[in-house]
Structure 1
Amino acid sequence: MAKGTLKRATIYDVATDAGVSITTVSRYLNNSESVKTSTGNRIADTMEKLDYIPQGNAGSKADRSVGRVGVLTPFFPAPSFVQRLEGMIPVFKQNNFEMVIYTIEGSEQLDEYLTSVPFTRRIDGLVLMSVRLTPEHHRTLQASGLHTVMVESDDENYSRVLADDYQGGRIAAQLFIEKEYFPCAYIGDRNRDISYSLHPSDIRLNGFRETLKEAGGELRGSMIIETDTSVENTRIAFGELLDKKNKPRAVFAMSDLQAIGAIRAAKDRSIRIPEDLAVLGFDDIESSDWMGLSSITQHLGDSGRIAAGMLLEQISGKSQAIQKVNLQVGLVERETT
């Protein structure tokens, strides 16, 4: 009997055997200190057991039997970004591509990645999620010739997947108008001015405010607060608004995590939801379903899946045309409105 060829272990095999997600393995490979020590040890043991060789150490693209794509994101592990990644994973896996995640925590780190990663020749393509590029970044990517797809960035130089944030704000306002929920409040993102990332907070706010105005309503400045996109900080900040004499009847948060923080602030004060306060989030993350949170969906999994497909088409040569996909947002109404 002829001796068979053993299939080389992939990052997906490591994740399955170690009992962790593909994103956790990817984080460990890029920065082992970013995962718990016990988890990192389990991943390391699994890699040794499976004789796994990270693709970044496996030579040039011509020497590899498995393709490799990079994903740059400033907000991992935010739930919305994890769900996008979960949309990408099966597409890349089915096409024999591994995925490595580069987490951006500052402008200097973004500069470092974009001046080194595209030129290593150890990745076949790149997905940029909510990354704000400078003209110099554009020139660097163009010079590298690396296949690149954008998510949430409407840059005509690249194929991209977008969600209609303005329409999402309009849908939120239309719901509150229909139910006669006044006055309304809005919870935005206080980190929207970070230079290396894109933030849709102001776009969603504009759609929300302008639609209220069209119907004769008003979003007063005192009803607009900004927090980071965490549950606890939003609970504290929104609680301060609820402690004022003039309380909102409904609140639209630019993310589901902030909406959850608003719910906790209300429960701290025995405010009934939705009888006394309606709460609407944005993103429709997985936890929104079991929490009964009403949310504006932007089809996170679909955006990841489509972006991955676009990139593979470029890499395979099936399509070099620049594509633009606009995903329609929609209302998923549950118990909080």
Structure 2
Amino acid sequence: MRRPPRTHGHRAAAAVALACALTAASQQGAQADPQTLTEVQHKLESLYHQAEVATDKYDAADGRVTAQQKRVGSLDSQVRAAEAKLTRLNSLAGAAARAQYRGGGVPAELQFALASDPGRALDNAGLALQAQQNTQNLLTDLKTTKASLRTRTDEATAELTRLRASRRAMATQRRTIEQHIAGARALESSLAAKERARLADLEKRDADRAQAKWESTGILRKVGTDATTAGQKAIAFAVEQIGKPYVWGAEGPDSYDCSGLTSRAWLAAGITIPRTSEMQWAQLKHVPVEDMRPGDLIVYFSDASHVAIYVGGGNIISAPRPGRYVYVSPAASMRILGVVRPDA
């Protein structure tokens, strides 16, 4: 994979130059120079890769927003519970104070001196002291509850602040994704029909060449051929999604991005895995490529920006990129980073 261009202006200028060269060739009735077409292919790969990286970051930001919303909801529930306890303790403390007031607040030793039955006076004194201690405990608990309530309120406010910041970052990321996708689509649409067909053939030829090289290592004689029960369910789900369009940030049921497909496939098997390809790579168990089995996830590129589900026979099912659909393709058609196992 080529290093992405350094600036948006550089990408735009290169795209325009390539498009002009292809248009000129088409107008002259000639095919575009193969080198020029290769440059277009690399440019498209770069643009779509950048879009996929941006999509993964967007999905991660969206996941953080969802998690923060749950935490804020939990804090709000705890605040409400603390308020209810505060109301109850206020009521109990008031009742205890009123009871002591009705008792006259006479010191225990005086009650003992004046009582006709000293034993009963001692009992009454003990009860009075216990009531005083209970009241003090209630008041202490009341102060603790108030402090806890203030702390939880502060935490809830901080969470809301971070939530708003995440939403702003997510909105910025959305614009970045849309710009990258628009650039790639504009470059593709600038090609004549024959050139688009040649470009597709070039992409397929490169994929087949990479797959043949991978298989020549004897890898398919080493990898597992049997999926676990959960893996079979995940694969069955992925098969049912074939033909549905790629949409960035989508996780079904009508469209998917790459990690939206893999996470939903494994959810259908009863196993929850992280939402993004980057988190799937970071959090799931790594297995050597030669030890993978159907149902495992193959993660691609050095930044873990793409993921697919291995279905056996050297093939994967994936949601490839904008403008494409969920489909079956060779496992080594992209640069493999490694393999992870959701049901380890």
TM-score range, shorter chain: under 0.3
Structure (1/2) with the larger helix percentage = 2
Look at both structures and tell me which one has the larger radius of gyration over its CA atoms.
2
Question: What TM-score do you get using the length of structure 2 for normalisation?
Answer: 0.27
Larger strand percent: 1
